[in-house]
């Protein structure tokens, strides 16, 4: 399909110029997006008159004081360093488990700082630690968000998204760019916290792909059903933790079951009906009279997503990672999207015979770009061993010497490699600080006193009584081997000698322990370096491969060119599917404006083929291309208006795909499937067309017609302007693709 589209006559000048402008605009957009420059920080709407203006002023002052409090908490935390606490391993110190569970921001803060906040602010201990952690993250990791709070551009409700989604990004450059992108996107517009959360999720998923994948992998381990008591006696809460597609499918199925119960006198709410249906289906399987239902999920994915790129997709309006979109479509269609056709891989990317597409075994842990013997092309081994498989200190990778099993000391077993620790200089300083703190404690407690200045020098008898009797051999000859001559029995060692022997053994054991620790740290450092090298090699291989080229593509045509023939074939097969099986309808193709991202047309593969030619006989021949202007061809724009009140199926589908969610400022609820497409100018004065239809949720659809003093104006390009009774103006545009 792609080869057919790209063959034929060369494109005309207008097409070449359009492509050049689109690529230039995309480069400017990406350069602007990848910048960490903040916008002009100001409230999105001016102050109103009367009590509403007082509410706005108070809310902005709360935001400013929230920033002031965060800065003050940060200064307080700096005055309570963790160096005053007992170090890990000392008697009475914080347990290792609790210390490891502390937020990263609190590692340098004394554990007793939170207790001062408990007393000062009447908080619980967890709330005080949360305040400390959030304030430190806000001040040190999100300076733009802090400035936006002070300026009134954001309010405290926006902080959860920034702290939960943006602050955990490890790469400081990416974190600053994502924060600046969100600040620029929200500048000058009314943005509710859920809207900011969805935008942040999309940006983090697209930019910080590896970290997002690690977080998702960790979150998948929490899948399950959890029960807890409710605040009201006799009630409980059952929580289902699942992936977004699973949760959406389950919820939609329960909604459909509840809507199938059509008794007129049923006093139950829809939520109560959904719960009753769930209980019937689970507790009485096969015995219910509930009709079968079909779940309809809308999946939005770009060509780059379908061909293996990192661009996230949507499932029923919720952002999901690209790999999850491909796995969902593969489960629904049986097609292996995102990998070569004809292969079936396991979770680790191995083929059924246990080999990877690059020829390595599925159990092979070698890094990408290494040879069979574990070395890189330059001959260096990534695990830190030499050609004989030994570390520079002569130990095997398992921690033992080749000529003895007791490399870690008598009877010691190899230890697991911990995370890389501080350098020896830092450890020395920490030990010195700990020793000094202990000596200071002992002096202050009286354990160590100054010597009596009036006391005379110690007598020889005193010295001899203080010195232990170490024993030893007398002037006789030392004993020889057994059988050579008569030997007197060896005298039993004294108690003092046994004490010194015990001390010697303790010193030897301590020396072995220190040496073992040094070797363990060295192995851990080499393991970290090897993992970093393997990760870099894997990243380079991915970047140079088809998925990396697809991700870097500037537009859909470039993404198709970067994809492999097998991926293009799978994409063509998917688009040619007529529905059935796991698909409720044939896949649709969204034609998007390359400059603004706005939806231009919603078509399918047959419709796109019909619109891809001007209709002349010469342009319809197999293998022939069409270089004529196709801007006026049917199928390359919005559907025409409908004569009646209700829009036709094609028009209804286009408007819902254009708006996707309620267009009222600050609202993000889904547009109900059964209606709520409103005529901006009432029918029949206004046409039933794309330029006069807008999607609302039920509440805001009612408000548009019933709330006094409100004015809604819809422009031809889908821009909605809402004016409040007090004269405040908010503008929303259709979300870009």
pLDDT of residue 342: 42
Extract the tokens encoding 363: 């159990």
Residue 692 DSSP symbol: G
Whether residue 53 is found in the same domain as residue 189: yes
Using CA atoms, how far apart are residues 356 and 541, in angstroms rounded to an integer?
14
Q: Please tell me whether residue 731 adopts helix, strand or coil conformation.
A: strand
- Does residue 734 or residue 556 have the better pLDDT? 734
Would you give the DSSP letter of residue 412? P
218 shares a domain with 72: yes
Average pLDDT, the chain: 77
Give the burial class of 333: count Cβ atoms within 10 A of its Cβ; 0-12 exposed, 13-18 middle, 19 or more buried: middle
Say whether the peptide bond before residue 684 is cis (omega within 30 degrees of 0).
Answer: yes
Residue 506 CB: number of other CB atoms within 10 A? 10
Q: At 559, is the pLDDT very low, low, confident or very high (cuts 50, 70, 90)?
A: confident
Out of 235-244, 248-257, 498-507, 704-713, pick the least confident: 498-507
Q: What is the pLDDT of residue 328?
A: 85
Structure confidence at residue 670 as a pLDDT band (50, 70, 90): confident
Q: Is residue 451 part of a domain?
A: no
* Any domain includes 206: yes
Domain membership of residue 507 (yes or no) is: no
Give percent above pLDDT 90 in the chain.
28
For 237-271, what is each residue's pLDDT tens digit?
999 999 988 898 899 889 888 888 877 788 899 89
Cα dihedral 598/602/603/608 (nearest 10): -20
Handedness of CA 455, 457, 458, 459 (dihedral sign): negative
Range of weakest confidence among 110-119, 433-442, 479-488, 714-723: 479-488
- How many domains are contained in the chain? 4
Q: What is the pLDDT of residue 560?
A: 85
* 3-state DSSP of 96-117: HHHHHHCCHHHCCECCCHHHHH
Q: State pLDDT tens for residues 413-441.
A: 333 444 445 555 566 566 667 766 776 66
Same domain, 274 and 308: no
Give CA–CA dist 144/146, Å, rounded.
Answer: 5
Above 90 in pLDDT, residue 674? no
Task: Please count the other Cβ atoms lying within 10 Å of the Cβ belonging to residue 67.
Answer: 22
Full domain range(s) for residue 532:
299-338+518-586
Sign of the CA dihedral with 317 first, then 589, 343, and 374 last: negative
What dihedral angle (degrees, nearest 10) is formed by the CA atoms of 629, 635, 639, 642?
110
Say if residue 80 is in the same domain as residue 187: yes
Asked if residue 496 is part of any domain, the answer here is no
Q: Does the residue 621 lie in any domain?
A: no
User: What pLDDT, on a 0 to 100 scale, did the predictor assign at position 58?
Assistant: 96
Per-residue pLDDT averaged across 22-37, rounded?
61
pLDDT at 570: 85
Q: What is the pLDDT of residue 425?
A: 55
Predicted local distance difference test score (pLDDT) of residue 373: 42
Q: Strand, helix or coil at 686? A: coil
**106, 191: one domain:** yes
More confident residue, 595 or 132: 132
Residues 307 and 233 in one domain: no
Range of weakest confidence among 51-60, 437-446, 722-731: 437-446
- Report pLDDT for 178: 93
Work out the average pLDDT over 340-369: 40
In a domain, 569, yes or no: yes
Q: What is the pLDDT of residue 182?
A: 94
Domain end point (choices 203, 222, 241): 222
pLDDT of residue 295: 75
* pLDDT > 80? residue 128: yes
The residue among 634 and 62 whose pLDDT is bigger is 62
Whole-prediction pTM: 0.65
Would the pLDDT of 12 be above 60? no
* pLDDT for 10 beyond 60: no
Q: Do 667 and 700 lie in a common domain?
A: yes
Listed in sequence order, the DSSP H helices in 190-340 are 193-207, 209-220, 244-259, 270-283, 303-306, 322-333
Strand partners, 678: 694
Q: Which of 222, 237, 258 is the last residue of a domain?
A: 222
- Whether 312 and 217 map to the same domain: the answer is no
List helix spans (H) across 37-88: 50-78
Structure tokens at 9: 């006559």
My answer on whether 691 and 565 are in the same domain is: no
Q: Is 281 found in the same domain as 313? A: no
Instruction: Confirm whether 325 is domain-assigned.
Output: yes
Give the confidence band of 339 by pLDDT, cuts at 50, 70, 90: low
Choose between 610 and 382: higher pLDDT: 610
Q: Which pLDDT does position 721 carry in this prediction?
A: 94
Q: Hey, what are 167's tokens?
A: 């602050």
Q: Look at residue 497 in the predicted model and tell me its pLDDT.
A: 66
Rounded to an integer, what distance in angstroms lies between the CA atom of residue 549 and that of residue 148?
37
Band (pLDDT 50/70/90 cuts) for residue 294 is confident
Q: For every residue of 329-388, which 3-state class applies, written as one string?
A: HHHHHCCCCCCCCCCCCCCCCCCCCCECCCCCECCCCCCCCCCCCCECCCCCECCCCCCC
Listed range (138-142, 259-263, 319-323, 724-728) with the worst mean pLDDT: 259-263
Those residues whose C-beta lies under 8 Å from the C-beta of residue 194, and which sit 6 or more positions away, are 668
Domain closes at, from 222, 241, 257: 222
Which segment, 20-24, 382-386, 441-445, 657-661, is predicted with the most confidence on average? 657-661
Residue 67 lies in a domain: yes
Give the model's pLDDT for residue 25: 56
Helix (H) or strand (E) holding 36: none
Please identify which residue in the block is written with the tokens 């990672």: 321
Give pLDDT tens digits for 165-222: 999 998 899 999 999 999 999 998 899 999 999 999 989 888 888 788 888 888 889 9
Per-residue confidence (pLDDT) for residue 394, from 0 to 100: 43
Do 664 and 682 have their domain in common?
A: yes
Based on the fold, state whether residues 707 and 559 are members of the same structural domain.
no
pLDDT given at position 491: 60
pLDDT, position 719: 92
pLDDT value of position 493? 60
pLDDT interval class at 483 (50, 70, 90): very low
């Amino acid at each position: 399909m792609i080869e057919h589209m790209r063959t034929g006559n060369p494109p005309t000048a207008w097409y070449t110029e359009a492509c050049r402008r689109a690529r230039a605009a995309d480069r400017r957009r990406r350069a602007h997006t990848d910048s960490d420059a903040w916008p002009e920080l100001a409230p999105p709407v001016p102050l109103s008159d009367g009590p509403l203006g007082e509410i706005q002023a108070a809310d902005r002052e709360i935001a400013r004081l929230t920033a002031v409090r965060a800065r003050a908490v940060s200064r307080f935390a700096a005055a309570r360093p963790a160096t005053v606490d007992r170090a890990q391993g000392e008697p009475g110190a914080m347990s290792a488990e609790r210390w490891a569970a502390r937020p990263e921001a609190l590692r340098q803060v004394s554990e007793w700082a939170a207790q001062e906040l408990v007393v000062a602010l009447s908080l619980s201990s967890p709330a005080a630690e949360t305040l400390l952690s959030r304030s430190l993250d806000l001040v040190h990791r999100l300076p733009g968000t802090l400035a936006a709070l002070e300026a009134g551009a954001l309010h405290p409700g926006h902080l959860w998204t920034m702290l939960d989604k943006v602050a955990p990004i490890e790469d400081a450059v990416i974190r600053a760019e994502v924060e600046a992108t969100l600040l620029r996107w929200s500048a000058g517009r009314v943005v509710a916290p859920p809207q900011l959360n969805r935008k942040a999720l999309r940006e983090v998923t697209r930019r910080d792909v590896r970290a997002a994948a690690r977080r998702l992998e960790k979150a998948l381990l929490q899948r399950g059903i959890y029960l807890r008591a409710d605040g009201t006696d006799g009630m409980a809460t059952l929580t289902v933790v699942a992936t977004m597609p699973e949760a959406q499918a389950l919820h939609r199925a329960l909604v459909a079951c509840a809507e199938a119960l059509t008794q007129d006198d049923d006093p139950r709410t829809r939520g109560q009906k959904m719960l009753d249906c769930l209980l019937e289906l689970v507790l009485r399987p096969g015995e219910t009279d509930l009709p079968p239902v079909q779940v309809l999920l809308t999946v939005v994915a770009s060509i780059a997503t379908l061909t293996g790129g990192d661009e996230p997709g949507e499932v029923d309006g919720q952002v999901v990672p690209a790999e999850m979109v491909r796995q969902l479509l593969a489960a629904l269609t049986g097609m292996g999207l995102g990998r070569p056709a004809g292969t079936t891989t396991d979770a680790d990317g191995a083929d059924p015979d246990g080999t990877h597409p690059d020829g390595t075994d599925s159990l092979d842990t070698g890094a990408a770009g290494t040879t069979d013997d574990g070395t890189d092309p330059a001959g260096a081994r990534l695990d830190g061993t030499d050609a004989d498989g030994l570390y520079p200190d002569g130990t095997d990778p398992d921690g033992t010497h080749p000529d003895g099993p007791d490399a870690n000391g008598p009877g010691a077993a190899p230890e697991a490699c911990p995370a890389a620790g501080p350098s020896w200089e830092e450890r020395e300083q920490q030990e010195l600080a700990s020793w000094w703190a202990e000596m200071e404690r002992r002096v202050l407690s009286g354990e160590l006193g100054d010597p009596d200045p009036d006391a005379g020098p110690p007598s020889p008898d005193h010295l001899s009584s203080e010195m232990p009797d170490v024993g030893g051999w007398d002037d006789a000859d030392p004993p020889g081997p057994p059988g050579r001559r008569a030997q007197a029995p060896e005298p039993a060692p004294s108690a003092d000698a046994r004490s010194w022997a015990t001390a010697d053994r303790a010193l030897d054991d301590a020396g072995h322990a220190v040496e073992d620790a040094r070797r363990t740290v060295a192995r851990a450092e080499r393991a970290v370096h090897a993992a970093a090298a393997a990760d870099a090699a894997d990243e380079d291989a991915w970047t140079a491969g088809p998925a990396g080229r697809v991700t870097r593509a500037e537009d859909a045509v470039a993404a198709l060119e970067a994809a492999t023939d097998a991926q293009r074939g799978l994409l063509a097969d998917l688009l040619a599917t007529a529905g059935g099986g796991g698909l409720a309808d044939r896949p649709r193709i969204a034609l998007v404006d390359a400059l603004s991202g706005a939806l231009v047309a919603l078509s399918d593969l047959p419709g796109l083929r019909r619109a891809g030619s001007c209709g002349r006989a010469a342009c319809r021949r197999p293998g022939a291309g069409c270089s004529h202007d196709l801007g006026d061809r049917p199928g390359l724009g919005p559907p025409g208006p409908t004569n009646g009140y209700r829009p036709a199926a094609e028009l209804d589908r286009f408007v819902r795909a254009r708006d996707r969610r309620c267009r009222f400022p600050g609202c993000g609820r889904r547009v109900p499937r059964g209606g709520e497409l409103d005529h901006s100018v009432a029918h029949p004065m206004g046409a039933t067309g794309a330029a006069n239809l807008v999607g609302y949720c039920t509440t805001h659809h009612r408000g548009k017609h019933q709330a006094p003093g409100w004015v809604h104006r819809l422009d031809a390009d889908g821009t909605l302007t809402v004016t409040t009774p007090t004269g405040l103006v908010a503008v929303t545009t259709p979300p870009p693709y």
